[in-house]
Amino acid sequence: MGMENKCESKSPLPAAVCSAPHQTGLDGEISSIQEISGVQQNDMDFSTEAGNVPEKRLMKKPLTISTTKLCGYLNKQGGPLKQWKSRWFIYEEKKCQLYYYRTSQDVNPLGSIDLTSAVFSYPPEPEEGIFEIHTPERVFVLKALNNHTMMYWLQQLQVKRWQHSSSGVRTMLDPVTAITEKSTQPIFHEKEECIEDLMPTVKTPTGLVGEAATPWQQTSLQNLSLKHPITELQNTVLSICSSKSLQERCVLQPEDPQQGVGGQSKDVPMKSVSDNSNSSQDLKAEKSTLINQKKEKRLTLVPSLEKMLGKECTNGENTARLQLEVLTLTEELKAQKELVMLLHKALEATQQEKRACKKFLTTPLEEDRLEFVRHKERCMADLTMRLEAQMNKNKELKQSLAMRDSHVVELQEHVQLLMQKNDAKQQVILKLSEQLSSFIAHPLNTVCDTVEADTLRNIQEKIEHLEDCLEAYKQQNKFLNCEIHQLTKLWRKSSEEEKGLLMKCAYLEAKNCQIESKYLVVLRQLQESADLDVSHQKMVKRLIDDALEEDMKDVLKLNPISEFDEYGFKIIPDYEVEDMKLLAKIQALENRSNNLRYNEMVDKPLRTRWTNYLGSRPSGELVISPELKTLLRCGIPPEYRQQVWLWIVQKRTKHIRESHPNRYQELVKKCEMSEHPATRQIGLDLHRTLTTNKLFSSPSSDAIQELRRILLAFSWQNPTIGYCQGLNRLAALALLILKNEEDAFWCLVAIVENIMPRDYYSKTLIASQADQRVFRDFVTEKMPRLMAHLEEHNVDLSLISFNWFLVVFVESLPTDILLRVWDSFLYEGTKVIFRYALALFKYKEEEILKIQENVEIYQYLRFFTKTVSDGRKLMNIAFNDMNPFPMKLLRNRRTYHLERLRVELAELERIQEEFTREQKECKDKDLDNAGSEDEEDT
């Protein structure tokens, strides 16, 4: 009976074969995450980060999976002296771990190697069969009998690692389906991927791998593990107990002395020992045969080389060809070494990224995951600091470049001296050329005199050595390419899981904000209810006070709410009235919920579109196009808003700035020299500008002083207007975004003189009044029910909308929606104001129709724009539901109402003149009557 049958029937089996030691790893954490998300495994779908971009296939052909159980003897380097000890290794599929024992009969393992995060490599030049397994904890150095066995182990370990990562349970995100309205849910499912490799399949080594493998080196005494004495003792005791029980069973069965336990022959151990000895002798014989064949190959090359030299020793081209071949192989060897070094570096970077992703996935608590995200943010800040350091270094390099330019002049003078030396060397070259021609004319004598057979033999041996090294580096290159490709796939999967977890976290936070907002709304309704008794009213009031005093930063969130947004506006304004405070906090929660819901679904793709659009064009060279118009309507990301606004302003004021390049500086000097009549009014309005913004909260702030200079300069720039209340808000918003005093001034010029109609900010505000009548006509056409409701309750729309048009919604809309309105307004003009004004009434039409009191309608219309939280919905109403909205119709109606207003103003002026004249005549008559009475008295 052979060794295979012995392995099948022996008792006890190794723990690696029967059951792996109890360990908690990634499988448990992934299953726990799956329970949280509530998604079944058959619903998983794993999409790569590349999206629809086709990935170039690096794999060449499918890799056949070996049916042999992955186990066998390998030498392991360990201990303080780094000695080689033979160990029985066996792979356990469930845990993806490689356990090692002293012998195949041991029950308890000496240790294990976790392959889920392992990286495999081997050095090409050291001793044959050595390879390494790099784990986050340590590096295991193993040794196989030969390179063939080593490559088999490496390839099979790669396959096992890939099978485990592909068949493992992935984290699913079912709640994310609620983020999108179209049910485009980012659910992952595992696909049966074909295991492929860049390398050909390595055949299974006979007698060295599998359950029939035998030890091939060292005695049992040398293999004892001093690091695990308790485990060694336990295995020895179990082995002795099993052998005693085997002997007792043999004594109890004397009828058939030829039978052992389980029908096994008694001479099986002797056969196995003989098989072991025979197999080890065969392996040694095979190894010596390979060495002898290699020696014979080199010995046969020498006579062939001598024979070749005997025939062609008269030909000098043989030596030159061999030397050229040596140089070529040397250069190729250097290139391969450099490539291997680069691959090692890439492998280490990939392993570090994979460890980080695994650490993020295996963390059971959300606090730790969030701490990991914050750690990444700190890394990004560190990279930003490094970037600034590199920019400073770039400046220093530019200075050194200027110094080197002066050095170039000196070098040119030195070149002239070298040219003179070169002429002298040309003469030497001529002499050498003559010698070369004589060498070509008589090559036989020269070769025979200079080259000997020993020299050519040394060259040939060197070539063989270089060829062997080159082949080893090529083999290592293929293996490392395969390793990097597989690790890249694993990293992509981990990145997708991380992205999914972040989306889930954002969704849960948005859901929490919605629930908290609804809770506050319910409390407000209960507070307004008259049916509650006194105790319940006190309880509701206490709950409202607790909600208002709660610090939102104490709540665990992906991006905690700050007091101010990125532009300095206060997110929750400080109202004195408690009801307004409650409404402000409800509005802040709804805005945050919408921002979180749209972040992954809309904002990130939009930011990518803007990046691609601006990246494909030189800086400041945007072109007017439908694509740009569509992007502006969707909104500009904060990091690009300043750049795009500046381009639009420069485009609109190009003719003025070209004719007066230093216009703003001249106006500022004029303001310092002489005082404008509007100076007093500007000073009064400065402290009432953007009161919820921290940059304008202090009277001595730099922003206030810059705004003062901008408004005074504009008063001198346009004397017909001078200053009109409302210009301070336009200039303040431009200053916040453009962050430059002069650019904000030109933005104000572009709005007043180019975008808005003429006389929009004049003393009569005639163009503004005309737009209010045009707006009333559009409301009547687009929303007849709402207009009829407002007329029924005698509500004048212009009392609400006049300020919207005059300051373009500044301090009327939430900041993110306001800036999106301005993005389109600067590009398209006043038509955007009409669209968004109509959209606001359409957005809240049903709520307005429910109010039946005149005073309540006015109170609601004063603040309802602040309750608009969904900017995307408002944008869709403005640019989709309000269509058709032709600019020609707007111009015609504006002209019509302007003419009517001019007629009305002329009529009003005529009435005023008549009244003034009549008043004057009445005064004259009174004087005449008083004079006649005086005469009569005298």
pLDDT in tens, 746-803: 999 999 999 999 999 998 899 999 999 999 999 999 999 999 999 999 999 999 999 9
For residue 67, give the 3-state DSSP assignment: coil
**Does pLDDT of 12 surpass 90?**
no
Extract the tokens encoding 526.
């209960």
Extract the tokens encoding 825.
């307004």
Predicted local distance difference test score (pLDDT) of residue 589: 67
Q: Which amino acid is at 496?
A: E
Give 683-738 pLDDT, tens digit per residue: 999 988 998 898 898 888 899 999 999 999 999 999 999 999 999 999 999 999 99
Q: Compute φ and ψ for 89, nearest 5 degrees.
A: -105, 140
Residue with tokens 């890249």: 488
Of residues 111, 103, 104, the one with CA closest to residue 133:
111
Of residues 146, 140, 102, the one with CA closest to residue 118:
140
Predicted local distance difference test score (pLDDT) of residue 599: 60
List C-alpha distances in Å: 880 to 248, 720, 875, 883.
Answer: 92, 38, 8, 6
Predicted local distance difference test score (pLDDT) of residue 900: 94
Residues 6+ positions from 221 with CB-CB distance below 8 Å = none
**Does pLDDT of 558 surpass 80?**
no
The Cα 353–Cα 376 span in angstroms is: 12
Return the HEC string of 746-795. HHHHHHHHHHCCCCCCCCCCHHHHHHHHHHHHHHHHHCHHHHHHHHHCCC
Q: Compute φ and ψ for 74, nearest 5 degrees.
A: -140, 155
Confidence tier at 890 by pLDDT (50, 70, 90): very high
Give 532-548 pLDDT, tens digit per residue: 777 877 787 778 777 76
Give 142-174 pLDDT, tens digit per residue: 999 888 889 899 989 988 888 888 775 443 344
Least confident of 64-68, 297-301, 662-666: 297-301
Q: Which amino acid is at 123?
A: P
For residue 139, give the 3-state DSSP assignment: strand
Q: Tell me what the mean pLDDT of segment 644-673 comes to.
A: 92
Q: How far is CA 115 from the centre of its chain?
A: 28
Extract the tokens encoding 771.
């737009």
* Helices 815-828/831-843 angle, 10° precision: 150
Q: Tell me what the mean pLDDT of segment 844-868 comes to.
A: 89
Greater pLDDT, 869 or 463: 463
Which pTM does this prediction carry? 0.48
- Contact of 174 with 37, CB cutoff 8 Å: yes
SS3 content of the chain, % helix, strand, coil (to 5): 65, 5, 30
Q: Tell me what the mean pLDDT of segment 110-114 comes to.
A: 91
Q: Tell me what the mean pLDDT of segment 179-198 comes to.
A: 41
Give 263-272 pLDDT, tens digit per residue: 333 333 333 3
Confidence tier at 465 by pLDDT (50, 70, 90): confident
**Does pLDDT of 43 surpass 50?**
no
**Does pLDDT of 197 surpass 70?**
no
**Does pLDDT of 646 surpass 90?**
yes
* Radius of gyration in angstroms for the set of CA atoms belonging to the chain, rounded to a whole number: 44
Give 353-400 pLDDT, tens digit per residue: 788 777 777 777 777 778 878 888 888 898 899 899 999 999 999 888
Q: Tell me what the mean pLDDT of segment 54-80 comes to.
A: 66
The Cα 89–Cα 140 span in angstroms is: 13
Confidence tier at 606 by pLDDT (50, 70, 90): confident
Burial class (CB in 10 A: 0-12, 13-18, 19+), 373: middle
Predicted local distance difference test score (pLDDT) of residue 824: 95
Other Cβ atoms closer than 10 A to 709: 19
- DSSP-assigned states of every residue in 515-533: HHHHHHHHHHHHHH-SS--
Give 117-137 pLDDT, tens digit per residue: 899 988 876 678 899 999 988
Confidence tier at 217 by pLDDT (50, 70, 90): low
The Cα 88–Cα 214 span in angstroms is: 9
Predicted local distance difference test score (pLDDT) of residue 264: 38
Share of the chain above pLDDT 70, in %: 71
Least confident of 13-27, 151-165, 247-261: 13-27
Other Cβ atoms closer than 10 A to 111: 18
Of residues 101, 83, 86, the one with CA closest to residue 223:
86
Highest mean pLDDT among 35-44, 211-220, 228-237: 228-237
The Cα 823–Cα 634 span in angstroms is: 9
Of residues 751, 729, 747, 802, the one with CA closest to residue 772:
802
For residue 110, give the 3-state DSSP assignment: coil
Question: What sign for the dihedral angle of Cα 845, 849, 854, 856?
Answer: negative
Q: Compute φ and ψ for 360, nearest 5 degrees.
A: -65, -40
- The number of residues in the chain equals 938
Q: Tell me what the mean pLDDT of segment 324-348 comes to.
A: 85
Q: How far is CA 482 from the centre of its chain?
A: 26
Predicted local distance difference test score (pLDDT) of residue 560: 47
Question: What sign for the dihedral angle of Cα 330, 335, 338, 339?
Answer: negative
Of residues 454, 473, 470, 478, the one with CA closest to residue 326:
470
Of residues 605, 634, 590, the one with CA closest to residue 186:
605
Predicted local distance difference test score (pLDDT) of residue 543: 80
- H-only helix segments in 783-884: 784-792, 798-807, 815-828, 831-843, 845-850, 854-863, 871-876
Greater pLDDT, 296 or 41: 296
Q: What is the mean pLDDT of the chain?
A: 76
- Contact of 800 with 766, CB cutoff 8 Å: no
Other Cβ atoms closer than 10 A to 81: 6
Extract the tokens encoding 110.
């000496």
Extract the tokens encoding 88.
């029985």
Predicted local distance difference test score (pLDDT) of residue 610: 92
- Contact of 109 with 16, CB cutoff 8 Å: yes
The Cα 116–Cα 114 span in angstroms is: 6
List C-alpha distances in Å: 413 to 404, 406, 416, 417.
Answer: 14, 12, 5, 7
The Cα 478–Cα 197 span in angstroms is: 9
Predicted local distance difference test score (pLDDT) of residue 540: 78
The Cα 624–Cα 612 span in angstroms is: 16
Share of the chain above pLDDT 90, in %: 28
Residues 6+ positions from 135 with CB-CB distance below 8 Å = 113, 114, 117, 118
The Cα 740–Cα 733 span in angstroms is: 11
Confidence tier at 54 by pLDDT (50, 70, 90): very low
